[in-house]
Chains A and B, each alone.
Chain A
Amino acid sequence: MNASAYSEPYKLPAGMLALAIHGAFFALIYFGINWRAEPPQGMVVDIWDSLPQAEVVPAKVAPPPVEQADPPKPVEPPKATEPPKSAEPEKPVAPPKADIELAEKKKPKIKPAEIRKPAETKKLAQKKFEAEQAARAEQAAREERAAREEQAAQAERERERARAEQAAAIGKVVDEHKARIIAKIRRNIVMPPDVPDNARAEFEVTLLPGGSVLSAKLVKPSGRDAYDSAVERAIFKAQPLPLPPEVALFNKFREMRLVFKPIE
């Protein structure tokens, strides 16, 4: 019953519990949390120098409505012209009859008139019918044309969106590399003393494929000649400038306007 004999009760269970707690916590961390940080799937972007498909497709889509809309019109006029032709020949036929029967000069005159009247009513009915048909056909054609136009517009819109996405992807790459170029040049700048923080030199840099500098022209001087020349030296010292590996993008870098400030 003295102090040295004192021993804590339940040493082993306490140890086991402590281990169990750590085991549980570790398991929770290891299995409970998804540690794998999924990188965004690498996007594959198709960049087109020219857009052959985009320009061909509307041409193919557009003509059909014109062709289908036109036929009814050319077909109708012949129909309308035929009846007059059939009515006109009667006129020349009637006068000979009148010449032979001199006394009954007026009658034959009336006859053609009478003949003409039914012909006219027929003509009118026919015209009316034809006009109706034409109107109907025209309306159908108009509707069809509207639908086609809408489709074409939608396709155009989709194409526009795709084009915008491509442009954004290109823009991203271009911006990234421009930032890299500027960073590389900045690293090479040997800062002259006493350059004010708001100094701002703008250079027009012409590059060659491969990243070497063809020329660097001072477009807007900062007002501090020492700083301007330091930047110019740095531009040439930083050769080769980092360009994207895609050769097709070089056009975007051929001529660049770069702005340099002592503090970003």
Chain B
Amino acid sequence: MPVRIKTNGHSKMNVTQDLSFLHLIENASVLVQLVMGLLLLVSLLSWWYIFLKMFAVRQAVKQSEEFEEAFWENPDIGKLYQAVNAKHDKAGSMERIFAAGITEFVKLKKKPGIDSRALMDGTRRAMRAVFQREMDNLESHLSFLATVGSVSPYVGLFGTVWGIMNAFRGLSNVGQATLAHVAPGIAEALVATAMGLFAAIPAVVAYNRYAHDITRLSSRFESFMEEFSNVLQRQP
């Protein structure tokens, strides 16, 4: 007499077999879902800033190169100044430093009885002020990337720990603990860590890259300021 036995271990337990991505997010507890939502937002923002900075830094480098080339090729500062003024908002950082310097220089020069030392100090101060502002603009949002890079793994980890805690708490009601009881909960929880890392890794890479690029730009601006001061000092 044949006796049919179904040796399907899962048939009796209410374990979801569908471990699809959406399912994992849906089944997670509210706090974990909140963490995931936060991380998604942060990730979106950080990628937005990454691209913003990428374009901005690339543009700044290109403009500086073009302006430096034009500056050293063209001995007529007056013409260069007019060209920079004509650009208005499209002028690059180095052009703005140049414009501020020459404006201050011309203004001070008109004052009667000013000595050359005071003239050069005033010009340099004006250029430095613009330089600081430009650097500030270039560095904007970089701190956000740094924060995302360092904090979002912890946020994700928090979500994961919370999710795993819940998964194990549920285990206490079950007499025979099997992996099938815990696995979905842990998988859900781990999604939070994955998202945290997904947000953090590009942010850290981008931060390092842009910080380096901006440092190089700043040293370039500073050397230009020194050189331009020399050029102005030579002016009659």
Does B55 contact A14, Cβ atoms closer than 8 Å?
yes
The distance in angstroms between the C-alpha atoms of A249 and B7, with both chains bound, is: 13
Q: A57 within 8 Å of B by Cβ?
A: no
Which of chain B's residues have a CB closer than 8 A to the CB of A37? 17-19
Shortest Cβ distance from A10 into B: residue: B55
Partner-contacting stretch, out of A73-81, A105-113, A177-185, A208-216: A177-185
CB of A17 within 8 Å of the partner chain: yes
Complex CA distance for A3 and B131, rounded to whole angstroms: 11
Given contacts A30-B21, A39-B10, contact A173 B52 (CB under 8 A): no
Say whether A42 contacts B6, CB under 8 Å. Answer: yes
- Option from B2, B18, B48, B50 in Cβ contact (under 8 Å) with A46: B2
Hey, which chain B residues are within 8 Å of A9, CB to CB? 55-56, 59
Option from B4, B43, B52 in Cβ contact (under 8 Å) with A8: B52
- In whole angstroms, what is the CA distance A179 to B9 when docked? 14
Q: Kindly provide the distance from the CB of A122 to the nearest chain B CB, expressed in whole angstroms.
A: 65
Q: Which chain B residue shows the least CB distance to A50?
A: B1
Which residues of A lie under 8 Å from residue B10 when comparing CB positions?
39
A173 to B22 Cα, complex, angstroms = 35
Give bound CA distance, A8 to B52, whole Å.
7
**A60 at the A/B interface (Cβ < 8 Å)?**
no
Task: Indicate if B51 sits at the interface (CB-CB under 8 A).
Answer: yes
Contact with B along A1-32 (1 / 0, CB 8 A): 11101101111011101110110010001100
B45 cross-chain contacts in A, Cβ below 8 A: 18
- Is B76 engaged at the interface, CB distance under 8 Å to the other chain? no
The smallest C-beta distance from A246 to any residue of chain B, in angstroms, reads: 5
In the complex, which residues of chain B have a beta carbon less than 8 angstroms from the beta carbon of A172?
A: 7
Which residues of A29-52 are within 8 A (CB) of B?
Answer: 29-30, 33, 35-40, 42-49
User: Taking the complex as formed, is A248 at the interface, i.e. its CB lies under 8 A from any CB of chain B?
Assistant: yes
If A47-B3, A48-B1 touch, whether A14 touches B52 (CB-CB below 8 Å) is yes
Q: A11-B52, A42-B8, A169-B7 are in contact. Are A3 and B137 (CB under 8 A)?
A: yes
- Give chain B's interface residues, CB within 8 Å of chain A: 1-8, 10-11, 17-23, 40, 43-45, 47-56, 59, 89, 91, 96, 99, 133, 136-137, 140-141, 175-176, 198
List residues of chain A with CB under 8 Å of any chain B CB.
Answer: 1-3, 5-6, 8-11, 13-15, 17-19, 21-22, 25, 29-30, 33, 35-40, 42-49, 169-170, 172-173, 179-180, 183-184, 187, 244, 246, 248-249
With A10-B55, A246-B5 given, name 16 new contacts (CB 8 A).
A1-B91, A1-B99, A3-B137, A8-B53, A9-B59, A14-B54, A19-B44, A22-B40, A35-B18, A35-B21, A36-B18, A36-B19, A37-B19, A40-B8, A46-B3, A173-B5
